[in-house]
Structure 1
């Protein structure tokens, strides 16, 4: 069951933080409720208050190199007391502002370890726990990378709109992240394959002018329907009146039943947790929300339009602007929007 290890991990770290290690070479540790052939993994806190997950490994095993900051650290660490000398894969988080995301990573590691240990009956030296750590890190490490340019304000606004809709869908279906295919290269932001939603965010004044990229973005799926939602966003200066993309990411992760999959989508969308701190001060609020049925009569350019006008489809890199402040088209009622989204969730779950 997803989320069952999170309370235990957070409780251990919270208790350990009250009595951090006394020197740079020491850790305070507490066992976690997972079994491996070499003993339980440990939650740990170092003298600076950084959180660690220690996974027991055989003395001859080697921990993968290359993960040495500035956000995550993975290394081999021996611990001993009066009775036991044990080697561990020490996974640590060097950024306190990323503790919550690190908790999700560690929860994923514990679930992977539990599954790997139960599936592997051979008591070989190559215990499955370390393999589980490496597998989970392969899925998560892109989120913690610091390479690449951070998102600009316009990009954050676009992501804010998509995450606003995603969180709404996740409230009704914790698996709704599977509909968010825009980051993976789909021409529509959300789709079941039959029905789709394209999300546009506009900022600045009362403008409702949306930019359309390409001839297929406002084409409905084959045999299906397309809706366009336009969020008019205003910049906010106070967290009481606005939210950041970081806030929406945290909300979506708390609602989602597959945190790892959602984090992968965020990476594809250009969002990296390592940049989260610089994004916290960029606040938006939704000043207006309009939904439209993209069908006959909606102002758009598509490949079918060019074919009908006898314009060669070899025309490429087409971009244009639609002014939604001019009616028609007329916005949809809230009831019609809710019914459409409900139908998409039913279709996705069937």
Structure 2
């Protein structure tokens, strides 16, 4: 953040919590009401609302006349500017507001000069909605969610509007579903989310304790086909013991959408801000963005889950049991034809040394 800032000039716009939702048009009008190109460096702001212990202001910064939103925290520990989300139309930074700051620490989300103003107003409207709907959350949890939402918008601008493919949507539903089962079996929230490596392009979807779990999802009505993406995916020599968890979903009105899976999991993670941070980062890595949630309308109903130990008796292709000239392969495995027993998740976690 720039040094030698003068105290902020402040006007009151709406100081109460539980505000009516702000629109992009109102945000743009608020910025127009602020003095621009001031000769004295510093922030000019208008109070928007307060949610819980957090305060929110619309602002401009002189001398660059940059539109911004300021979020004040009374207790959360904030990262330095160098560790905050940067680029793709806007940036986030720590802000110094001078005497009027009181006991608050301030974060600024600031439009870059090349960023589209109308799109930035949409970003700010969404961020305001997130903060206002989180008035009962601890500040540290809200702070982590705010960082995730800002990174999500920057990723949205970088990736465009295509969203997840149908196959990737199903895969993410399956992995989140297994994550929820880990919670149910007593795996600590942070340990479970920290072990979720699928979104980070890990060799296996979950690395837990002394081994790993590979997750496969299908919507096939007959058989139990799962697609194996590489020769290494079921190579149990790299991370033993290795288990294959396969989930079969149906599609009906009683099912749950991907955004609902995400929202429900966020609710479960509320007691642990560190686990929440890892979960939000995983969603970004896999390409799930809240601003695309309305595109995911399919409802998934879990019909069956089976877990198998991948050992020397398990049918698989690996680099060590195929002819040497074959370097790469993908194949489909029908688990319905396997004679091996299904392993309860509780036994799997015990063998992994997790519980």
TM-score past 0.5 threshold = yes
Q: How much has 1:328 moved relative to structure 2?
A: 1.6
Q: Deviations over 1:54-79 (max 9, x none)?
A: 339xxxx9x9986768xxx9699999
What is the alpha-carbon distance in structure 2 between the residues aligned to residue 29 and residue 90 of structure 1?
15
**Which of the residues 183, 200, 222 maps onto 1:184?**
200
Distance 1:85 1:268, change over 3 A: closer
Counterpart in the other structure of 1:30 = 50
Counterpart in the other structure of 2:236 = 220
**Which of the residues 13, 18, 29 maps onto 1:15?**
18
Q: How much has 1:161 moved relative to structure 2?
A: 0.5
Q: How much has 1:191 moved relative to structure 2?
A: 1.2
Q: Give the paired residue count.
A: 279
What is the alpha-carbon distance in structure 2 between the residues aligned to residue 15 and residue 98 of structure 1?
10
**Are the equivalent residues in 1 in contact too, given 2:27–2:58 (CA < 8 A)?**
no
**SS where residue 15 of structure 1 aligns?**
coil
Counterpart in the other structure of 1:167 = 180
Distance 1:214 1:244, change over 3 A: same
Distance 1:199 1:287, change over 3 A: same
| Pairing of 1:126-141 with structure 2 (within 5 A) | 137=147, 141=150
Q: Deviations over 1:137-187 (max 9, x none)?
A: 4x6643223242311222111111100001121342211101111222221
Counterpart in the other structure of 1:346 = 354
Q: How much has 1:42 moved relative to structure 2?
A: 1.0
Distance 1:325 1:98, change over 3 A: farther
Counterpart in the other structure of 1:302 = 318
Task: Name the TM-score, length of structure 2 as normaliser.
Answer: 0.64
**SS where residue 16 of structure 1 aligns?**
coil
**Are the equivalent residues in 2 in contact too, given 1:198–1:228 (CA < 8 A)?**
yes
Counterpart in the other structure of 1:275 = 292
Distance 1:27 1:337, change over 3 A: same
**SS where residue 150 of structure 1 aligns?**
coil
**Are the equivalent residues in 1 in contact too, given 2:22–2:128 (CA < 8 A)?**
no
**SS where residue 325 of structure 1 aligns?**
helix
Q: Deviations over 1:272-320 (max 9, x none)?
A: 22211211x12111122222111122111112212xxxx21x5222111
Please list every run of 5 or more consecutive structure 1 residues that lacks an aligned counterpart in the other structure.
1-11, 34-40, 47-51, 113-132
**Are the equivalent residues in 1 in contact too, given 2:266–2:276 (CA < 8 A)?**
yes
Counterpart in the other structure of 2:165 = 152
What is the alpha-carbon distance in structure 2 between the residues aligned to residue 18 and residue 150 of structure 1?
26
What is the alpha-carbon distance in structure 1 between the residues aligned to residue 349 and residue 280 of structure 2?
23
What is the alpha-carbon distance in structure 1 between the residues aligned to residue 231 and residue 276 of structure 2?
33
**Are the equivalent residues in 2 in contact too, given 1:108–1:260 (CA < 8 A)?**
no
Task: Name the TM-score, length of structure 1 as normaliser.
Answer: 0.64
**Are the equivalent residues in 2 in contact too, given 1:167–1:251 (CA < 8 A)?**
no
Please list every run of 5 or more consecutive structure 2 residues that lacks an aligned counterpart in the other structure.
1-14, 31-45, 60-68, 74-80, 110-122
